[in-house]
């Protein structure tokens, strides 16, 4: 089966040098130098129709940038995004419009992503009017009522404003807004991170129910490793803008290959007082402004050798279907672990 979404070698950089004066350097004469954040450095993976692929990694690893590049909020500097085989990353703002109705996004903070001066009705009507201007008023009203019911918010509350709802209900409303235009693909960027523990399960159940009813495809961004384990079919692990490992959820959680994946999974807080058994990584995550040479993880990896310091590891598919970017795994050096 070919991939529903195909992400090929995606590169995104942000120029943060500001004005001309900040670019001037005086090393050996005067010249200009830009300060560039390397947010994504050649990320590739595919998503099949109807599945949930999650992206995990620590803050600053580029997972939100990835989500925004896929839906073309950001225009990537390199690489391709294919939607059912059609390239969508290089489309103009007007040409992307029909694709936007198929791809919708749910954001982290339901306090920031809903306009406080719009009622629920106005919030849900806007995307329908924008993408389907020919839809009649009564059809649009029906659609608003339908999506409100789907997410478990009483349609009688459509005249209310966001501040009249709790955090969990607001997140339901932003999910309803995404559903209003009948999308096939939903990108959810940390959709439960701002919610309380007892509400998180409700929203996760809603995501799973909607997927089952409507055959939705999800790209799920999260830093919560137990949640990701529960809801995903496959998982992408990222570190400093690079993909470390991409594997089926069970494969990844029972038998992680990449040293960073191992460290990350070992740090999940476990219930009980059996003490800490996490792998201790030396040092800190380097800055994405001056990327390390070779493997981005080599400075903190206990198994790094000369090749890791020099050569960027390629994404190498293994026999069991997973993809790992690690020289040690490729050479079989880490097999004994």
Partner 1 sequence: MQKQEPLLSVRELSVAFKMRDCVLTAVDGVSFDLDRSQRLGLVGESGAGKSVTGFALLNLVSRPGYISGGHVFFEGRDLATVSEEEMRNIRGNRISMIFQDPMMTLNPVLTIGQQMIETLKAHRHISQHEAEKLALSKLQKVAIPSPEKRLTQYPHEFSGGMRQRIVIAIALLTSPSLIIADEPTTALDVTIQADIMELLLNLCEEEEMALLLITHDLAVVSQVAERIAVMYAGRIAELGSTEAIVNAPQHPYTQGLLKALPQKVERRKRLNQIPGSMPSLQERPPGCAFYDRCELRGEICHREIPRLEEKNGGLVACHMVKTVAGKEKK
Q: Which of 260, 263, 264 is nearest to 228 (CA)?
A: 264
* Contact window for partner 1 (CB under 8 A) among 38-46, 143-151, 275-283, 307-315: 275-283
Distances (CA, A) of 269 to 14, 191, 226: 34, 21, 9
- Segment 129 to 168, residues that bind partner 1, using CB under 8 A: 166-168
User: 54 in helix, strand or coil?
Assistant: strand
Q: Which of 145, 199, 291, 334 binds partner 1 (CB under 8 A)?
A: 199
Q: Which of 186, 215, 219, 6 is nearest to 104 (CA)?
A: 186
Q: Which of 81, 63, 112, 74 is nearest to 221 (CA)?
A: 63
Q: Which of 147, 231, 252, 323 binds partner 1 (CB under 8 A)?
A: 231
**Least distance CB 285 / partner 1 (angstroms):** 8
Q: Which residues pair with 47 in a beta bridge?
A: 5
User: Is 269 near partner 1 (CB under 8 A)?
Assistant: yes
User: Is 97 near partner 1 (CB under 8 A)?
Assistant: no
| Beta-strand pair 5-15/36-47 | antiparallel
**Least distance CB 232 / partner 1 (angstroms):** 8
Query: From CA 308, how far away is CA 315, in angstroms rounded?
Result: 14
Q: Which of 21, 30, 197, 319 binds partner 1 (CB under 8 A)?
A: 197
Q: Which of 39, 53, 263, 296 binds partner 1 (CB under 8 A)?
A: 263
Query: From CA 137, how far away is CA 184, in angstroms rounded?
Result: 24
**Least distance CB 201 / partner 1 (angstroms):** 4
Sign of the dihedral defined by the CA atoms of residues 286, 287, 290, 291, in that order: positive
| Beta-strand pair 78-83/5-15 | antiparallel
User: Is 193 near partner 1 (CB under 8 A)?
Assistant: no
User: Is 332 near partner 1 (CB under 8 A)?
Assistant: no
Query: From CA 227, how far away is CA 259, in angstroms rounded?
Result: 21
Q: Which of 15, 22, 196, 331 binds partner 1 (CB under 8 A)?
A: 196
Which C-beta is closer to partner 1: that of 100 or that of 172?
A: 172
Site string for partner 1, 2-41 (x = CB under 8 A): ----------------------------------------
Query: From CA 292, how far away is CA 273, in angstroms rounded?
Result: 38
* Contact window for partner 1 (CB under 8 A) among 1-9, 40-48, 268-276, 303-311: 268-276
Total residues interacting with partner 1, rule: CB under 8 A: 43
Query: From CA 56, how far away is CA 169, in angstroms rounded?
Result: 25
Q: Which of 234, 219, 299, 245 is nearest to 43 (CA)?
A: 245
Site string for partner 1, 50-79 (x = CB under 8 A): --------xx--------------------
User: Is 273 near partner 1 (CB under 8 A)?
Assistant: yes
* Contact window for partner 1 (CB under 8 A) among 116-124, 221-229, 290-298, 326-334: 221-229
Which C-beta is closer to partner 1: that of 84 or that of 303?
A: 303
* Contact window for partner 1 (CB under 8 A) among 106-114, 175-183, 195-203, 317-325: 195-203
CB 225 within 8 A of CB 257: no
Query: How open is the CA angle 32-36-41, to the nearest 5 degrees?
Result: 140
Q: Which residues lie near partner 1 (CB under 8 A)?
A: 58-59, 166-169, 196-202, 204-205, 208-209, 223, 225-227, 229-231, 233, 249-250, 263-264, 267-273, 275-276, 278, 280-281, 284-285
């Amino acid at each position: 089966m070919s991939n529903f979404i195909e992400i090929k070698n995606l590169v995104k950089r942000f120029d943060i040098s500001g004005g001309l004066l900040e670019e001037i350097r005086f090393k050996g004469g005067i010249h200009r130098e830009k300060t560039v954040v390397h947010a994504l450095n050649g990320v590739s993976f595919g998503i099949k129709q109807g599945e949930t692929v999650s992206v995990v990694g620590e803050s600053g690893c580029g997972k939100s940038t990835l989500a925004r590049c896929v839906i073309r909020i950001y225009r990537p500097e390199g690489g391709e995004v294919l939607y059912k085989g059609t390239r969508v990353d290089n489309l103009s703002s007007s040409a992307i419009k029909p694709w936007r109705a198929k791809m919708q996004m749910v954001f982290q903070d339901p306090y920031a992503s809903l306009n406080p001066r719009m009622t629920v009705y106005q919030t849900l009507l806007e995307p329908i009017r924008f993408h389907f201007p020919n839809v009649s008023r009564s059809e649009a009203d029906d659609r608003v009522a339908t999506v409100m019911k789907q997410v478990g918010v009483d349609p009688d509350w459509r005249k209310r404003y966001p501040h009249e709802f709790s955090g969990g209900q607001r997140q339901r409303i932003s999910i309803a807004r995404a559903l209003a235009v009948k999308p096939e693909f939903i990108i959810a960027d940390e959709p439960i991170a701002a919610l309380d523990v007892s509400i998180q399960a409700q929203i996760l159940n809603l995501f799973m129910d909607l997927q089952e009813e409507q055959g939705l495809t999800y790209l799920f961004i999260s830093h919560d490793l137990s949640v990701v384990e529960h809801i995903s079919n496959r998982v992408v692990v990222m570190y400093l803008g690079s993909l470390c490992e991409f594997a089926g959820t069970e494969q990844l959680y029972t038998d992680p290959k990449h040293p960073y994946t191992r460290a990350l999974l070992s740090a999940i807080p476990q219930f009980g007082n059996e003490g800490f058994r996490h792998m201790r990584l030396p040092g800190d995550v380097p800055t994405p402004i001056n990327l390390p040479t070779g493997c981005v993880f080599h400075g903190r990896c206990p198994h790094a050798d000369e090749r890791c310091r020099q050569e960027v590891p390629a994404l190498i598919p293994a026999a069991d279907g997973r993809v790992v970017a690690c020289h040690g795994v490729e050479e079989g050096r880490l097999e004994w672990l």
